[in-house]
Structure 1
Amino acid sequence: MKKLIIAVIGLGLIAGVAGWFLSAPTGLSQMDIAQLKDGDPAKGESIFWASGCGSCHAAKGAKGDEKLNLGGGLRLETPFGVFVAPNISQDPEDGIGGWSLADLANAMTHGTSPDGRNYYPAFPYASYARMDLADISDLFAFMKTLPAIPGKAGPNELAFPFNVRRGVGLWKRLFLDPAPVIASPVGAEDVDRALWDRGRYLVEGPGHCGECHTPRNLAGGLKLADWLGGAPAATGDGKVPNITPVAGGFGSWSANDIAYYLESGFTPDYDSVGGEMVSVQENMAYLSADDRTAIAAYLKAIPTVSATSE
């Protein structure tokens, strides 16, 4: 019995040490950091709107230029607890005004803070990990032009074990993957591949559409087999719709319908955007017409997910 107890303790220690190393925060390689260049703030503005920064980090209900005041504070009530969007304004004490470009790139592609902690995936770095470093450089340059907003946003409200940030490192091992979700267009031989690729980049990367429109497993990871097939709302009640080309639903929209919806907020049957999608649509209206067309092209040529997946 004594030997058994010693063996169990030994295995527990080995598992603990392994878990500690496997959960360690990761970051960009020195080679990647060396390749980071000064960005273009004009290009970065488009990335800012595509990435939806103001939707979470500006005040609730903010419109227009108010979305540039990134003082945080939005409460995201989820099954894992309440996540509070932090201040990401240019305030050097309360925001990210003291961050370097490498700090932002590590946060967005690896979910790792400048002081080496794991971020919770309420910050959608699992999608941002698919972004080009050049775009992150441009975004950083644009964000440097934005106001400094004093004041801390407040702490997350999480119970054990979700309040143990180190454990998020294990989540990253399972679900943080920079590879594209959909390898190639389906269902249409005449797809403009360059346009579709641009749409895939915007939807799967900065646009992080899958974070809301794709169902999750018990660990909070996206079920990629049901990509964009609809999901329970991450915050509150209700459902987020299936936006694959499913018959009788979103699939009945033409590419022009989708692009126009992203620009204007109006559906083909003259209804208007509602709920949390209001802020997203307002962001998409800032994109170029070509980018909205690309998003539509992508959504029209991805695998259909049955409506039952919602």
Structure 2
Amino acid sequence: MHRLLAFLVLVGGLGAGTGWIISAPDALPEAEFSTPVEGDPARGAGIFTAAGCASCHHAPGSDDRLTLSGGQRFASDFGTFIAPNISPDPRQGIGAWSLHDFANALLRGVSPEGRHYYPAFPYTSYIRMEPRDVTDLWSYLNTLPASDVPSQPHEVGFPFSIRRGLGLWKQMYLDPAWHLTRADSDELRRGRYLVEALAHCGECHTPRDRFGGLERGAWLTGAPAPDGKGSIPGLTPDKLDWSAEDVAYYLETGFTPDYDSAGGHMVEVITNFAALSAEDRAAVAAYVKALPAGGVMD
């Protein structure tokens, strides 16, 4: 009996040790984004808009979209996540970060202290960002006003408060592969990049499983609203019968073909897309029209 107990303790210890190793943050190699590179702030402004940074990180109720002091609340089944201060303030914001720190956050969901970020921050989409875009976005963020408003802690209870468990979650869901694999034109590739990477449309328009991971087999087919109030519509052809022109016009104006208008958080999304080029909106529309029915990809 004593030998069996000792064996079970040993097996349990080995299992716990393996889990601890597997769940460790997978940071970028030190060599990546460590060499000083001069980014292009003007180009980074476009990345900032397409990625919707202001939509989540400007202060609640404020018309100032460039002071990224955080504070907006995002309810979910796992708790309420509160957007942090990402202004250039060196104490309360990210002004003391290096480019490497910033890239680690965007592409790996890892903080400068080596902790996992919750995927309420859509690094599961940003992981597809091109290195130049990361650098240019970082360059632009450093030109914005600093705010000394402290970030608020997330309101997340046990067991989701154990961030180490996110390492196992990332093993399952942090995947840089494209959802729409067949993109045979420059326009379609641009649309894919905007939808699947920068604008992270799938984070809202795709249902999630019980662990909070996106259901890849139901890509962009619609989902319950994270706060439990209503639902988010699907974009696949069996859910949305708009023409490409309708989609592009909606992204510019917020008006549907039925003369309805965007509401909720989609108002912020329209604000971002309206500031992009007509070519970018047409590329997104082309992507939407290329989606297969039911969201099942090749």
* TM-score greater than 0.5 by the shorter chain: yes
TM-score (norm 2): 0.95
Aligned counterpart, 2:24: 24
Q: 1:92-241 maps to which residues of 2 (within 5 A)? A: 92-185=90-183, 193-241=185-233
Q: Normalised by the size of structure 1, how large is the TM-score? A: 0.92
Give the corresponding residue for 1:2: 2
Give per-residue Cα distances to partners, 1:272-307, cap 9 Å, x unaligned.
11111111111111111111111110010011127x
Partner of 1:79: 77
In structure 2, distance between residues paired with 1:203 and 1:235:
22
Question: How has the CA–CA distance of structure 1 residues 35 and 235 changed in structure 2, closer, same or farther, with 3 Å as cutoff?
Answer: farther
Alignment of 1:244 with 2:236, yes or no, is: yes
For 2:43 and 2:212, the matched residues in 1 are separated by 33
Distance 1:160 1:34 in 2: 36
How far apart are residue 38 of structure 1 and its match? Answer: 2.1
C-alpha separation between the residues in 1 aligned to 2:229 and 2:80?
15
| 1:226–1:75 distance in 2 versus 1, CA, 3 Å | same
Which letter maps to 1:112?
V
Mapped pair 1:288 → 2:277? yes
Cα deviation for residue 34 of structure 1 reads 4.8
| Partner-residue secondary structure (3-state), 1:140 | helix
Q: Please tell me whether the aligned partners of residues 214 and 226 of structure 1 are also in contact (alpha carbons under 8 angstroms).
A: yes
Give 1:55's aligned residue.
55
> Structure 1 residues 62, 283: CA separation in 2 closer, same or farther (over 3 Å shift)?
farther
Amino acid at match of 2:287: Y
How far 1:31 sits from its partner (Å)? 4.2
* Residue-by-residue CA offset, 1:98-132 (whole Å, 9 max, x unaligned): 11111111100000001111101010000000100
Gap change, CA 1:69 and 1:34, over 3 Å in 2: closer
- 1:56 Cα deviation after fit: 1.0
Aligned equivalent of 2:89: 91
Q: Deviations over 1:69-89 (max 9, x none)?
A: 110011111111111111001
State the Cα deviation string for residues 22-48 of structure 1 (Å, max 9, x = none): 111112224433567321111111110
What secondary structure, in the 3-state scheme, does the structure 1 residue paired with 2:294 have? coil
- Structure 1 equivalent of residue 255 of structure 2: 266
Mapped to 1, the partners of 2:179 and 2:78 lie a distance apart of: 25
Amino acid aligned to 2:51: S
What letter corresponds to residue 234 of structure 1 in structure 2? P
> Against the structure 1 CA distance between its residues 83 and 41, is the aligned structure 2 distance closer, same or farther, given a 3 Å change threshold?
same
Contact 2:34–2:99 (CA under 8 A) maintained in structure 1 = no
Instruction: Provide closer, same or farther for how the CA distance between residues 241 and 62 of structure 1 changes in structure 2, counting only shifts above 3 A.
Output: farther
Question: Is the CA contact (8 Å cut-off) linking 2:34 and 2:100 kept in structure 1?
Answer: no
Q: Which 4+ residue blocks in structure 1 deviate beyond 3 angstroms?
A: none
Residue 61 of structure 1 deviates from its aligned partner by 4.0
Q: 1:256 to 1:214 in 2, by over 3 A?
A: same
- Using the TM superposition, give the Cα deviation of residue 237 of structure 1 relative to its aligned residue in structure 2, in angstroms: 1.2
Over the matched positions of the two proteins, sequence identity in percent amounts to 53
Q: 1:60 to 1:34 in 2, by over 3 A?
A: closer
Residue identity opposite 1:289 in structure 2: A
Cα RMSD for the two superposed structures: 1.4
Aligned residue pair count: 295
**For residues 282 and 231 of structure 2, what CA distance do their matches in structure 1 show?**
26
Aligned counterparts of 2:177 and 2:202: Cα–Cα separation in 1: 14
Which is worse superposed, 223-232 or 267-276?
A: 267-276
CA change 1:235–1:121 in 2 (3 A) is same
Secondary structure of the equivalent of 2:193? helix
Answer whether contact 2:32 2:100 (CA < 8 A) is retained: no
Instruction: Give the C-alpha shift of residue 166 in structure 1.
Output: 1.1
Q: CA offset at residue 260 of structure 1?
A: 1.0
Q: Following the alignment from structure 1 to structure 2, what is the Cα–Cα distance between the partners of residues 236 and 42?
A: 38
Question: In 1, distance between residues paired with 2:59 and 2:276?
Answer: 21
85-94 vs 33-42, greater mean Cα deviation:
33-42
